[in-house]
Chains A and B, each alone.
Chain A
Amino acid sequence: MAKGVWLVAEQRDGAFRKVSFEVAGAARKLADELGEEVCAILLGHDIEGIAGELGKYGVDRVYVADDVAFEQYTTDVYSAAVAKLIKENNPSILLLAASVQGKDLSSRLVGILATGMASDCVDLKIVDGSLVATRPVFAGKCYAEVTILTTPQMASLRPNLFPTVENEKAAEVVKFDPAIDAVELKTKVLEIQKDTSGRVDLTEADIIVSGGRGMKGPENYNVIEELADALGATVGASRAAVDAGWRPQSDQVGQTGKIVSPNLYVACGISGAIQHLAGMSSSKCIVAINKDPDAPILGKADYGIVDDLFKVVPEVTKELKKLLERGE
Chain B
Amino acid sequence: MLSNVGKIFFLLLIASTIFVFSKRLIFLIRLLKLGKPEDRTDRFWERLKYTLGEVIPQRCVLKHVMRGDYAGIGHMLMFYGFTLFVISYIFHIIGGFYGNIPALFGTTFNNWFALLLNIAGLVVMAAVIWAVIRRYIIRPARLKPSMDAAIILVLVFGLMALNFAMEGFRFLSGSGDFTEWAFVGVALSNVFASMGLQEKACTLFHVFWWIHIIVVFGFGIYILYSKHLHILASHFNLFYHSTKPKGSTQPIMDMEKAETFGISKITDFSWKHLLDLYACTECGRCTDICPASSSGKSLKPFDLIHNLREHLLASGNEQPGEKEGGKCSAMIGEVVTGDEIWACTNCMACMEVCPVAIEHIDKITGMRQYKVLMEADFAQELQLTYRNMENNSNPWGIGAHMRADWAKELDVKLLSEDSDVEYLYYVGCSGSFDDRGKKTAIAFAKILKAAGISFGILGTEEGCCGDSAMRGGNEYLYQILAQMNIEVMNGYGVKKIITTCPHGYNALKKDYPNFGGNYEVYHHTEILADLITHGKIKLNKSAHGLFSYHDSCFLGRYNGIYDQPRNVLSAIPGMKLVEMERNRDKSFCCGAGGARMWMEEDIGERINDMRTDQAIEVNAEKIAVACPFCLTMIGDGIKDRDMEEKMEALDIAEIVWDAMGLREER
Contact = CB atoms under 8 A, between A and B. Distances in A.
A141 B433 contact: no
B408 interface: no
A83 to B, nearest CB: 32
A274 B401 contact: no
B396 A274 contact: yes
Nearest to A244: B640
Most buried by B among A138, A213, A278, A294: A278
B640 A274 contact: no
A98 B388 CA distance: 22
Most buried by B among A272, A273, A274: A274
B381 interface: yes
Nearest to A240: B639
A259 B632 CA distance: 21
Contacts of A274: 396, 433-437
A274 B599 CA distance: 14
Interface residues of B, number: 28
A243 interface: yes
A141 B401 contact: yes
A201 to B, nearest CB: 15
B567 interface: no
Contacts of B395: 255
Given A259-B384, A273-B436, A299-B435, A278 B640 contact: no
Contacts of A138: 391
B67 interface: no
B600 interface: yes
Contacts of B401: 141
A255 B436 contact: no
Nearest to A299: B435
Contacts of B294: none
Contact of B666 (A213, A255, A294): A294
Contacts of A259: 384
Given A139-B392, A277-B396, A278-B396, A255 B435 contact: no
Is chain B's binding surface mostly helix, strand, loop or mixed? Answer: helix
Interface in A126-151: 138-139, 141
A138 B385 CA distance: 16
Given A213-B639, A256-B381, A278 B398 contact: yes
A163 interface: no
A54 B384 CA distance: 39
Contacts of B397: 139, 278
B8 to A, nearest CB: 74
Given A240-B639, A274-B435, A255 B391 contact: no
B522 interface: no
A200 B433 CA distance: 32
B598 interface: yes
A176 to B, nearest CB: 42
Nearest to A256: B381
A139 B391 contact: yes
Nearest to A282: B397
Contacts of A248: none
Contacts of B599: 256
Interface string A291-308: 000101001000000000
B399 interface: yes
Contacts, number: 47
B548 to A, nearest CB: 23
Given A141-B401, A213-B639, A274-B396, A296 B435 contact: yes
Contacts of A272: 435
A296 B384 CA distance: 22
A139 B400 CA distance: 11
A255 B598 contact: yes
Nearest to A140: B399
B381 A255 contact: yes
Contacts of A278: 388, 396-398
A243 B606 CA distance: 10
Given A273-B436, A274-B434, A294-B666, A141 B399 contact: yes
B396 A255 contact: yes
Contacts of B600: 249, 256
B399 to A, nearest CB: 6
Most buried by B among A273, A296, A299: A273
Interface string B372-387: 0000000001001100
Contact of A255 (B385, B399, B437): B385
Nearest to B429: A274
B194 to A, nearest CB: 75
Contacts of A255: 381, 384-385, 395-396, 598
Contacts of A299: 435
27 contacts: A139-B391, A139-B392, A141-B399, A240-B636, A240-B639, A240-B640, A243-B606, A243-B640, A249-B600, A255-B384, A255-B385, A255-B396, A255-B598, A256-B598, A256-B599, A256-B600, A259-B384, A272-B435, A273-B436, A273-B632, A274-B433, A274-B434, A274-B437, A277-B398, A278-B388, A278-B398, A281-B398
Interface of A: 138-139, 141, 213, 240, 243-244, 249, 255-256, 259, 272-275, 277-278, 281, 294, 296, 299
Given A240-B636, A274-B435, 20 more contacts: A138-B391, A139-B391, A141-B399, A141-B400, A240-B639, A243-B606, A243-B640, A249-B600, A249-B602, A255-B396, A255-B598, A256-B381, A256-B598, A272-B435, A274-B396, A274-B433, A277-B398, A278-B397, A278-B398, A299-B435
